A and B are shown apart, each in its own frame.
Chain A
Amino acid sequence: MVKKFVIKNNIRTLRFFADEMTQQQLAEKAGASRQTILAVEAGKYAPSLELAFRIADAFGVTIGEVFDYEIKEIKK
Chain B
Amino acid sequence: MSYKEKRTIVSIVTMLSIVTAYYVYAFNKAQAGLAAPDDMKFWATTILTFIGIAIVASIVIQIIFHILLSIGIAAKSQLQNGKCDEKEVEREINQEMIEDEMDQLIELKAMRIGFAMAGIGFVAALVSVVLDYAPAVMLNILFLSFIVGSMIESVTQLYFYRRGIRNG
Contacts and interface: CB of A to CB of B under 8 A. Distances in A.
Interface stretch (A9-17, A46-54, A64-72): A46-54
Please classify how large the interface on chain B is, using the bins under 10, 10 to 19, 20 to 34, 35 or more: 10 to 19
Given A33-B95, A34-B96, A39-B164, A47 B101 contact: yes
A45 B104 CA distance: 13
A33 B101 CA distance: 9
Nearest to B97: A33
Nearest to A44: B164
A72 B163 CA distance: 20
Nearest to B2: A35
Given A35-B2, A35-B161, A46 B167 contact: yes
Contacts of B167: 46, 48
Nearest to A38: B2
Contacts of A51: 100-101
Contacts, number: 49
A33 B103 contact: yes
Interface in B74-106: 95-96, 98-103
Interface residues of A, number: 19
Nearest to A32: B100
Given A24-B95, A28-B95, A36 B166 contact: no
A50 to B, nearest CB: 8
13 contacts: A27-B95, A27-B98, A31-B100, A33-B95, A33-B99, A34-B96, A35-B102, A36-B100, A36-B102, A39-B102, A45-B165, A45-B166, A48-B167
Given A33-B100, A34-B2, A43-B164, 6 more contacts: A33-B103, A35-B102, A39-B102, A44-B164, A48-B101, A51-B100
Please provide the 3 A-B residue pairs with the shortest distance between their CB atoms, ordered closest to farther: A44-B164, A36-B102, A33-B98
Interface of B: 2, 4, 95-96, 98-103, 161, 163-167
